Amino acid sequence: MRDSYKIGLIGAGNLAWHLAPALENIGHRISLVYNRSRKNAYEIIERLYHAEYKKNLDFSEDQVDLVIIAVSDQIISRIAAEIVLPDNCQLIHTSGCQPLHILEPSAASHAGILYPLQTFTKGVKIDFRDIPVFLESSSQEGLKQLIQLTHGLSKNILETNSQHRSVLHLSAVISTNFSNHLFTLAKRLLDQQDIDFNLLQPIAQTMIMKIFTIGPESGQTGPAIRNDFDTMDHHMELLDHEEDLMELYALMSKQIIKSAKSRDKG
């Protein structure tokens, strides 16, 4: 198994901030970092050993084995169309929902995907070893290279296809991004009454523990699952000044009741 790869990195956002040093920590070298903002690129470079700033997308004369695109989804196709790569260099993107064929305009020797199933924020410590990482490549040789690249990065490296990865990404958005927004709405309600948001921490932690211990269906609680319409009506009265949140409360309650009835019939 190959010990080390020289890597070009495109992007300087949340994922790049975490992924670049994680790859160096397992023996690889980030040689070049390209980003439209030089300032943001140097935020990444300062976290690395010997990386240099790359001014353009022409890597043809650079000694890199792989180039990793870690940018927002809507930019990947443009980069694939503009990038110039050296021979036998694999081009990789890190998106959860973009397909493999989006990299075809690059004419890369091999095209691949390295998708870590996690939410990333600069400055928030994350251990990559606990993150599921999903791999896909256009060739067996490219897949072998990806497996070698990620060896030691995570305890859970999995090969998948674009369809399954898209469903994983969708599930992550529903379960985490949507949940985070619900917490944002809950915090707004508490802030209006000068109530400490941190009081929700124990119940939130218990909820997460139950979800992955007994399953989300078995762990569902609350007035909707009990058909407690008096409590739900009271909650709706409390939300009479929050029309959007009232609508969301009604929709979610209706969905919980419907799901419970479907399980009972089953």
Give the torsion through C-alpha atoms of 27, 28, 31, 36, to 10 deg: -120
| CATH architecture, range 166-265 | Orthogonal Bundle (1.10)
67-103 tens-digit pLDDT: 999 999 999 999 999 999 999 999 999 999 999 999 9
Q: By CB neighbour count within 10 A (0-12 exposed, 13-18 middle, 19+ buried), where does 6 fall?
A: middle
pLDDT for 1: 58
| Mean pLDDT estimate for the chain | 95
| Cα–Cα dist 117/174, whole Å | 13
Angle between helices 178-192 and 243-265 (to 10 degrees): 130
| CATH architecture, range 6-160 | 3-Layer(aba) Sandwich (3.40)
User: Considering only CA atoms, which of 169, 170, 44, 161 is closest in space to residue 116?
Assistant: 169
pLDDT for 164: 96
101-158 tens-digit pLDDT: 999 999 999 999 999 999 999 999 999 999 999 999 999 999 999 999 999 999 999 9
Q: By CB neighbour count within 10 A (0-12 exposed, 13-18 middle, 19+ buried), where does 54 fall?
A: buried
> Span 30-43, mean pLDDT?
96
| Cα–Cα dist 84/227, whole Å | 61
> Span 199-215, mean pLDDT?
97
**Is 262 a residue whose pLDDT tops 90?**
no
Phi, psi of 3 (to 5 degrees): -85, -35
| Alpha-carbon distance values, 71 to 8, 46, 80, 181 (Å) | 13, 19, 12, 23
pLDDT for 237: 96
Can you give the residue ranges of every domain in the chain? Answer: 6-160, 166-265
Q: Which amino acid is at 232?
A: M
| Cα–Cα dist 141/147, whole Å | 10
Q: In the chain, what percentage of residues exceed pLDDT 90?
A: 95
